[in-house]
Structure 1
Amino acid sequence: MSESRMRVPDKVKEVAKEDFGQAKQLASDAIRSAAYMYPFKGIAYFFTHRTLWKPLAAKLVPTISLGLGVTVLMFAVTYVPQAALLTIFNGPLALLTTVLLVLSESSTIFSVLSKNFLIDDALIDTFDGTLLCRNQTSLVSSERQVKSGSDPVGKLGKLVTKPFAKFTPSAIVRYFMYLPLNFIPVVGTVLFVILQGKRFGPTAHARYFQLKQMKKERKERFIEERKAAYTSFGIPAVLLELVPVAGIFFSFTNTVGAALWAADMEQGTQSGEGSTTAPNLRNQAELAKDRREL
């Protein structure tokens, strides 16, 4: 019995050491991937390519109105009761953590409404337009018509299919499952943002997966092999979209950043996330594997 009891702490240490090692490796992969830079690259690229402003400009007024309405309503209705509850767990820090919580909730509601009813087509045009700016015409033309001309966005023709899936019930359930993390001072809020970022990363490449015509199994492998990079992309992207009202602008710049990353993958210049230095070779190998599986 005593020997068994002695083994329990050793086992705990072994598991903790293994988990810490995995977390350390994921953090290392995330840093080496440099994927966290793409949301900021997207901002710079958006500002320097006026053609990419067109999809946003077409939706700007109704979307800003929606964002303001949702944010103001959420703060008016939910801030005080949630701050009172979080004060029990976070003390004075509740003033800050509640702001982050309400912003996150507002961002989620706004994302559901805007991406389903207002800006889904505009985000697709932004993603595809960015790829055309990066000379990825053959990739874009696999899923939509590309007309002749010098304006990348103006060249975009009819879509074959729409790639962005509607906000699924499971995603909403998962979001509210993570909300109680905010009761843990500072650390809980950080974990909440990380988990949101982990989900956001692959979602940002939904259009890329469709343009590559990836089947479910291949897409899951692709994401798994780059899970650290996708999380490192998702965290700053989520934080940017939490900014009240301006979050709509960052939805578009994040889309540009995701498209730039996709273009780099296609061109073989993306060297992080533990992937090969030639993503096209990986894609060819995966296509061959898919054919064998068929």
Structure 2
Amino acid sequence: MSEKLKDAVLAEAKEARATAHDVVTSGAYLYPFKGIIFFATHKDLWRPFVSRAGRTITLGLGVTSAMFFFTYVPQMALMAFTSGPFAAISAAILVLSESSAITNLLSRAFLVEDALVDTFDGTLIARDQEPLVAQGRQIKPRSGGGDIMARMGRAVKQPLARFSPRSLLRSLLYLPLNLIPVVGTMLYIFMQGKRAGPALHTRYFQLKGWNASKREEWIANNRGAYTGLGIAAFVLEMVPFASIPLSFTNAVGAALWAADLEKATK
């Protein structure tokens, strides 16, 4: 691990201690779990996920198979120094986590970007935030059936970033932290959660019409809440073979929080 990476890890560890209280008291970490319940009880929101399910499952199986073929044995050898007789199990868990992270990054960049936007917007409409959604897409009049997704017109703004090699590289550089039992894994989750939290509200910021400075100010003032949101969402997306469906429920959870923020300001 380079000196620069060590310094970054130490800085993140200090920040983790400083923000731990805010993470717990904010309650934002509950929204990804609320998203699971809301998604399960609103079948209209399933449509974007179902339309991408076949391709994302194929991608996940391909990435996971390749990772086990090329990286399982080398990582098991390294884990033997830290996990002893449990090296085989620890290495398998690590490879599954790595596969999940890579699958999620690739699928978001190339397969499910538009579907996540639709899911986020659909959740906002379900929570009576049509004026907000109208800032980023056309909304059709209510019909007799009440189908949320049927009311979704053409999106006039697409906020989610395309594939970023830097994001993938950063995620891969932090993966060795998992070789450190308990503490390393907790720090890895914190660092990824800190990044993931604000990203879950990219669409919200765009619908609000905020520029970069306004977004950064808002995130800085709510750092603990966004870190808690990101940690919970990231942990869920680490679940092997379930990262893609859980990325949709995380989008729902993020939209539920956005709806509550809007109601709190009125």
Give the TM-score taking structure 2 as reference length: 0.88
| Contact 2:97 2:238 survives alignment (8 Å) | yes
Taking a change above 3 Å as real, the CA distance of residues 93 and 200 of structure 1, as seen in their structure-2 partners, is farther
Bigger mean CA deviation after superposition, 167-176 or 236-245: 167-176
SS across alignment from 1:219 = helix
| Contact 2:100 2:241 survives alignment (8 Å) | no
Matched, 1:161 2:154: no
Structure 1 residue 24 displacement after superposition: 5.2
Bigger mean CA deviation after superposition, 47-56 or 71-80: 71-80
SS across alignment from 2:154 = strand
Q: Distance in 2 between matches of 1:173 and 1:140?
A: 33
- Percent identity, aligned pairs only? 51
Matched, 1:50 2:43: yes
Alpha-carbon deviations, 1:225-256, whole Å to 9, x = none?
11111111112211211122221110110110
| Contact 1:71 1:244 survives alignment (8 Å) | no
| Contact 1:67 1:244 survives alignment (8 Å) | no
State the superposition RMSD in angstroms: 2.0
Matched, 1:196 2:189: no
Partner of 1:85: 78
Matched, 1:142 2:135: yes
**How many pairs were matched up?**
252
Q: Distance in 1 between matches of 2:217 and 2:208?
A: 14
Q: Distance in 2 between matches of 1:242 and 1:99?
A: 13
Partner of 1:216: 212
The residue identity in structure 1 corresponding to 2:181 is P
Matched, 1:175 2:171: yes
| Contact 1:97 1:186 survives alignment (8 Å) | no
Structure 1 residue 47 displacement after superposition: 0.7
Taking a change above 3 Å as real, the CA distance of residues 211 and 229 of structure 1, as seen in their structure-2 partners, is same
Q: Distance in 2 between matches of 1:235 and 1:98?
A: 22
**Bigger relative contact order, structure 1 or 2 (CA pairs below 8 A, ≥6 apart):** 2
Taking a change above 3 Å as real, the CA distance of residues 23 and 114 of structure 1, as seen in their structure-2 partners, is closer
Q: Distance in 1 between matches of 2:189 and 2:240?
A: 16
Structure 1 residue 93 displacement after superposition: 4.6
Q: Distance in 2 between matches of 1:23 and 1:53?
A: 35
Superposed, which structure 2 residues align to 1:119-130 within 5 Å? 119-130=112-123
SS across alignment from 1:157 = strand
Matched, 1:112 2:108: no
| Contact 1:70 1:110 survives alignment (8 Å) | yes
Taking a change above 3 Å as real, the CA distance of residues 190 and 99 of structure 1, as seen in their structure-2 partners, is farther
Partner of 2:3: none
The residue identity in structure 2 corresponding to 1:108 is A
Superposed, which structure 2 residues align to 1:275-290 within 5 Å? 280=265
Give the TM-score taking structure 1 as reference length: 0.80
The residue identity in structure 1 corresponding to 2:209 is Q
The residue identity in structure 2 corresponding to 1:147 is K
Taking a change above 3 Å as real, the CA distance of residues 252 and 187 of structure 1, as seen in their structure-2 partners, is same
Indicate the structure (1 or 2) with the bigger Cα radius of gyration.
1
Partner of 1:231: 227
The runs of 5 or more residues in structure 2 that have no matched partner are 1-12
SS across alignment from 1:145 = strand
| Contact 1:90 1:184 survives alignment (8 Å) | no
